Structure 1
Amino acid sequence: MFRAVLPEEVSEILGVGFDEDSVEELIEILRALDDPPRVRLLAAESVLKWLRSDFVLASTAADLIAAETLSVRTTDEPFENMLVVTDEEVVSVVPAGETVAGLVSDDSEFVDATRNRWASAWETGEEFGLRTPAHSQVADSLTAEFGADVESDFEEMVGALATTRSAESSLDEVDVSVLVAAKHEEMLYDVSKWGERVGVASKATFSRAKNHLEERGLIETEKVPIDVGRPRQRLLLGDERLREADAEELVSVATSLLSTTGS
């Protein structure tokens, strides 16, 4: 439906009142388009917080925001419908179970009135910060800091995660970063310093993730002396099944190990 209502000649749209599924689909489609329109997305704060909780989706949205393809605001105004508004038409998005339809009106007076109403709400709405680094920034910084193999494995593992937003997920982006670092025998200090600098998470969060994975037997640490200060910790995979798995399989193996160790 989104592909049908985003023709090439439309340069800008206003998305109003999207729910979680619609936001996810919109972001995926904008990412796939060679020449996407500019989208102003006005949504409930709860929906945008949901978006922010999914590192994979939010980092893709952050790329779109950096490219000025997407901008996001929230408003307290009630949404009667999910709308896609252009200069020429208004599309009301109507979900029906597993299907969805777009009811289109191109009546000029109605289109003008609808666009003016929600453009006004946009102007008074509040910008919403995703607080998530752009996907391209994460990938580029990983390559620069640790090399292309680490970046490739990180991408494989993140891609294997069904989601990072669910409370039921046993792994998140920080766990993945630590496991990738362990696969390549990197230092905890280096990966946590990278993660904090790029905006993935704080050093303290990385330390907690390391402790959790170490307690469950997924990783081990090896002390490495340095000239000044306390020894640093080299991260190592702690289970033979993890050491034998490729990057994509690491997620499922790690998830299975966590479930059997009472995570």
Structure 2
Amino acid sequence: MPSHVAPTTAEVYRAHLADASTSSDVFAAGLAEEPAAALVNALAGLDDPPTVRLLVTETVAKWLRRDFHLASTAADLLAAETLSLRVADGSFANQMVVTADAVASILSTDEQTAGPATDDPEFVDSMRERCSEAWETAEPFDLRTPPRSRVYETLGDEIDPAVEADYQAMLDAVETTRSNGYRTTDDDRFDEVELVLLAGAKHELQHYDLSRWGEDVGLASKATFSRTKNRLEDQGLLTTEKVPIDIGRPRQRLVLDDRLRDVEAGDLPEAGRDVIDSATE
């Protein structure tokens, strides 16, 4: 395996993974947060990826889980059995990718990433044995996130293809949905539940139908959907209208604020942030 230098870490991973044989698992060990994210994205972009066993610390695994973009992409890879994820004890001093034939380190500056590699058989065998032993004692990690493909598919099939298209556009428009595990009215980004509620309000869906779908697919609980809806109402982004039903309590229809009704889906996150910011000025 040759060494690789590229402008981004993901490009270095793509080069090393493309060189790797698909007949043997690849180990990725000791990766910090951003290199782990780059690995997930690189693996997702390969047409014929090898199977990768990712060993990270619990801190890194939880960091991955807090961003729906990353976690749902990783969940797709897990479902396809392209990726396995376990939490190691942090005993790896270096960031590395270990294939059947080579060991590559991952080194980054502000402008480039390098993946210097060695194919010395004795060293490769020793490092693979070390990774294998660490893998056997490591703990599986639950991302608690549904695969992105399943979220999109079920949203289109069970709710509305137009809502699915708008949700995709809104997720693509934001760089991250990362949070610290809680949401506040002055948070500077929208998470995956807020975005799907805004997409639902754009099409005036019933909150009950959307929250039931969200809980069934594993996106969030009905209680989380309800709290999030209330927060978006408090921020002035949407309102609700009562929808009478024959039996039981009236249901609520989600309706976007007048300032957002004509905004294209891809521009809605930024426009929604502008509405929030204008209210605090």
Q: Calculate the TM-score normalised by the size of structure 2.
A: 0.90
**Superposition CA RMSD, Å:** 1.4
Is contact 1:170–1:258 with CA below 8 Å preserved after alignment? no
The answer as to whether partners of 1:154 and 1:180 remain within 8 angstroms in 2 is yes
1:53 matched residue in structure 2: 66
* 1:61-210 map, 5 Å: 61-167=74-180, 168-210=187-229
Q: CA deviation at 1:260?
A: 2.6
When the two structures are aligned, how many residues end up with a matched partner? 262
Which secondary structure does the structure 1 equivalent of 2:275 belong to?
A: helix
Moved more, 6-15 or 39-48: 6-15
CA displacement, residues 186-245 of structure 1 (integer Å, 9 cap, x when unaligned): 00111111111111111111111111111121101110110111100001011x331110
Could you report, residue by residue, the CA deviation over 1:54-110 in whole angstroms, capped at 9, with x for unpaired residues?
011110110000000000001114221001001111111112233211121111111
Between 1:225-234 and 1:209-218, the stretch displaced more is 209-218
Q: Are positions 1:5 and 2:24 aligned together?
A: no
The aligned residue for residue 245 of structure 1 is 263
- Contact between 1:91 and 1:105, CA under 8 Å: does it hold in 2? yes
Give the 5 Å matches for 1:10-25. 10-11=21-22, 12-25=25-38
For structure 2, list consecutive stretches of 5 or more residues without a partner in the other structure.
1-11, 181-186
SS of 2:36's equivalent? helix
Find 2:243's aligned residue among 224, 227, 231.
Answer: 224
The change in CA–CA distance for 1:185 and 1:202 in structure 2 (over 3 A counts) is same
Give secondary structure in 1 for the equivalent of 2:211: helix
| Letter of the structure 2 residue corresponding to residue 241 of structure 1 | R
Number of the residue aligned with 1:214: 233
* Mapped partners of 1:226, 1:199: distance in 2: 27
**Matched AA of 2:96:** L
The one-letter code matched in structure 2 to 1:223 is K
Q: Tell me, which stretches of 5 or more residues in structure 1 are unaligned? A: none
- Give the secondary structure class of the aligned counterpart of 1:6: helix
**In the alignment, is the contact (CA less than 8 A) between 1:91 and 1:103 conserved in 2?**
yes
| CA displacement, residues 146-182 of structure 1 (integer Å, 9 cap, x when unaligned) | 1211100010011111111145543111111111110
Q: Distance in 1 between matches of 2:150 and 2:71?
A: 13
Of all paired residues, the percent bearing the same amino acid is 50
Is this contact kept in 2: 1:65–1:71, CA < 8 A?
yes
* Structure 1 partner of 2:4: none
2:252 partner amino acid: Q
Moved more, 166-175 or 94-103: 166-175
Q: Which amino acid aligns with 1:60?
A: T
C-alpha deviation, 1:8, in angstroms: 4.9
Residue matched to 2:7: none
8 Å Cα contact 1:242-1:253 kept in structure 2:
yes
Shift of residue 262 of structure 1? 3.9
**In 1, are the aligned partners of 2:86 and 2:138 still within 8 Å (CA)?**
yes
Which residue number in structure 1 is paired with residue 5 of structure 2? none
Letter of the 2:49 partner, please give it.
P
User: AA paired with 1:70?
Assistant: L
TM-score by length of 1: 0.96
**Aligned to 1:131, what secondary structure does the other structure show?**
coil
